[in-house]
Amino acid sequence: MGHAEPQVSTSLQPYWMPFSANKEFKAEPRLFSRAEGMYFYTPEGKPVIDASSGLFCVAAGHCRREIAEAVYQQLQTLDFTAPFLRAHPKAFELAQRVSEYTPAGLNRIFFVNSGSEAVDTAMKVALMFHRVRGQAQRQLFVSRERAYHGVNMGGIALAGMVNNRRAFGPGLAGVYHMRHTALPQNKFVRGQPGHGADLADDLQRLCNLYGGENIAACFVEPTAGSFGCLPPPKGYLDRLRKTCDDNGILLVFDEVITGWGRMGANFGAQAFGVTPDLMTMAKAITNGAQPMGAVAAKQDIYDAITDAGPKAGIEFFHGYTYSAHPASCAAGLAMMDIFRDEKLIDRAASMSPYFLDAMHSLADAPGVVDIRSIGMMAGVEVAAVGNPGARGHELQKKLYDRGLNLKSTGDTLIVAPAFIAEKSHIDEITNKIRDAIAN
Ligand SMILES: Cc1ncc(COP(=O)(O)O)c(C=O)c1O
């Protein structure tokens, strides 16, 4: 340690916190002012182990000097250039490096600034792809209950978590939901559960009802993350793939959480052996150190859209001022070096069995009603006490006070440590959760 703890402003009122209990937080703030490796530090200097990689972002651990230095250098060299009709070399370099990790064929990379932007971008790519092929009638989308696809208007229309949509009206018309796969028979299963592949047939039912020829794309998280870790039943994703192929529908994997090693392979696509047509990613692409997301598209999709455009005109009217921001690209390239040099994804895969054993050892803790897990992610669900979600909320506060940070959703604690975690870190996380659940 030996660092001076940064001072915290005394006025907490002006900052309107996202997805937060503002009143409660401002009455009893739980702040972090510094981080290093597996730990955050409170303004008082107390270490808090990070069991959620920030928010599934910090795969290589906090405050990686290589990334900080790359961003610092970049901001002194080229701080900004418009990404429209202009570009800088690192954008091309990063797209190349990213495409070395995506499944074969998904080698065209569109940069954005967040997972939410990646999702809405993927929706527009799908619409555009069908339009240029003379199938502009394909304007419907299918997603799934309990899904999280970010918070932009496209993403909340796809969303299957009711609190994220109930206040905001109907959103986009023409988005239909398949049933989720959280079956009672699948409780306490480690890895992919055995029941529920047939739930993928909901997609064919929606095709039968609305006309498969009217559906643009089917969006799923390969493993639902924000809901609290819901791995796909064995055979489920293959079945979705087949139905998409049969009906000319694009399959989109939202890999904002499952990408970059979390499932023990580069992406969920490789972990589950199913290749989508489009893939979204964000978070760990820069280790969370700069905002960045991306859509990886099959080359055919890119070719169809660009070939259909005018000879010297814009082909796809979409992009963000900060798409491929130089500092984000610099962070992304430094992170690619870390993935390569530290074999970080292999490390996630080899630590996974120990991590999963540790998580499932919590099954006998009082009130634990389910544990779902895969790769380096687990959802530990406790029985509700009072309103649904109240116990989960209290637990995450109690855990902070006892030196552990994690994300809770409803009454599920989501554990997803950085891939640099040692066994001792996993033990510390497991013991703290066990104690907090028990007392
Ligand atoms: C699957 C998925 N999609 C999209 C998003 C939205 O990402 P962001 O918060 O960066 O907009 C998330 C965020 O957790 C996510 O898990």
> According to the model, what pLDDT value does residue 246 have?
98
Sequence-ordered list of residues with C-beta below 8 angstroms from that of 431, at least 6 positions apart, any chain: none
Could you tell me if the CB of 355 is within 6 A of ligand 1? Answer: no
Give the number of C-alpha atoms closer than 13 A to the C-alpha of residue 95, restricted to the C-beta side.
21
Residue 165 Cα to ligand 1 middle (Å): 15
Burial (CB < 10 A; 0-12, 13-18, 19+), residue 54, is buried
Residue 158 CB coordination number (10 Å): 31
Nearest CA-CA partner of 395 in 412, 420, 372, 373: 412
Of 136 and 170, the structure prediction assigns the larger pLDDT to 136
Residue 37 CB coordination number (10 Å): 18
Could you tell me if the CB of 148 is within 6 A of ligand 1? Answer: yes
Q: What is the second-level CATH architecture of the domain 68-341? A: 3-Layer(aba) Sandwich (3.40)
Q: What average pLDDT does this structure show over 406-420?
A: 97
* pLDDT > 80? residue 256: yes
Q: What average pLDDT does this structure show over 406-415?
A: 96
* pLDDT > 90? residue 288: yes
Banded model confidence at residue 169, pLDDT cuts 50, 70, 90: confident
Banded model confidence at residue 165, pLDDT cuts 50, 70, 90: confident
> According to the model, what pLDDT value does residue 29 have?
94
Could you tell me if the CB of 159 is within 6 A of ligand 1? Answer: no
> According to the model, what pLDDT value does residue 317 have?
97
Residue with tokens 């799934």: 144
Distance between CA atoms of residues 212 and 208, nearest Å: 7
Could you tell me if the CB of 120 is within 6 A of ligand 1? Answer: no
CATH 3.40.640.10 in the chain, residue ranges: 68-341
Of ligand 1's atoms, which has the minimum distance to the CA of residue 150? 6
Mean pLDDT computed over every residue of the chain: 96
What distance lies between CA 422 and its chain's CA centroid?
23
Share of residues in the chain with pLDDT > 90 (%): 94
Residue 283 Cα to ligand 1 middle (Å): 8
Banded model confidence at residue 163, pLDDT cuts 50, 70, 90: confident
CATH 3.90.1150.10 in the chain, residue ranges: 22-60+344-438
| 65-92 as b/e: b if 16+ CB within 10 A | ebbeebbeebeeeeeeeebeeeebebbe
Residue 143 Cα to ligand 1 middle (Å): 15
Could you tell me if the CB of 150 is within 6 A of ligand 1? Answer: yes
At 121-151, the pLDDT tens digits run: 999 999 999 999 999 999 999 999 999 999 9
Residue 427 Cα to ligand 1 middle (Å): 28
Could you tell me if the CB of 221 is within 6 A of ligand 1? Answer: yes
Query: Are 148 and 361 spatial neighbours (Cβ–Cβ below 8 Å)?
Result: no
Could you tell me if the CB of 255 is within 6 A of ligand 1? Answer: no
Return the CATH number of the domain spanning residue range 22-60+344-438: 3.90.1150.10
Q: What average pLDDT does this structure show over 254-275?
A: 98
At 367-390, the pLDDT tens digits run: 999 999 999 999 999 999 999 999
> According to the model, what pLDDT value does residue 2 have?
45
Banded model confidence at residue 365, pLDDT cuts 50, 70, 90: very high
At 1-30, the pLDDT tens digits run: 445 555 555 799 999 999 999 999 999 999
* pLDDT > 80? residue 170: no
> According to the model, what pLDDT value does residue 7 have?
53
Share of residues in the chain with pLDDT > 70 (%): 98
> According to the model, what pLDDT value does residue 161 have?
86
- Of 7-21, 75-89, 186-200, 331-345, which gets the smallest average pLDDT? 7-21
Could you tell me if the CB of 119 is within 6 A of ligand 1? Answer: yes
Query: Are 334 and 67 spatial neighbours (Cβ–Cβ below 8 Å)?
Result: yes
* pLDDT > 70? residue 66: yes
The runs of H, that is alpha helices, within 134-267 are: 153-158, 202-210, 236-247
> According to the model, what pLDDT value does residue 9 have?
54
> According to the model, what pLDDT value does residue 4 have?
56
- Of 22-31, 165-174, 347-356, which gets the smallest average pLDDT? 165-174
Q: What average pLDDT does this structure show over 60-79?
A: 98
Pocket test for ligand 1, best of 149, 256, 263, 285 (most atoms within 8 A of CB): 256
What are 2's two structure tokens?
Answer: 């030996």
Nearest CA-CA partner of 51 in 39, 60, 33, 43: 39
Nearest CA-CA partner of 421 in 365, 350, 320: 350
Could you tell me if the CB of 226 is within 6 A of ligand 1? Answer: yes
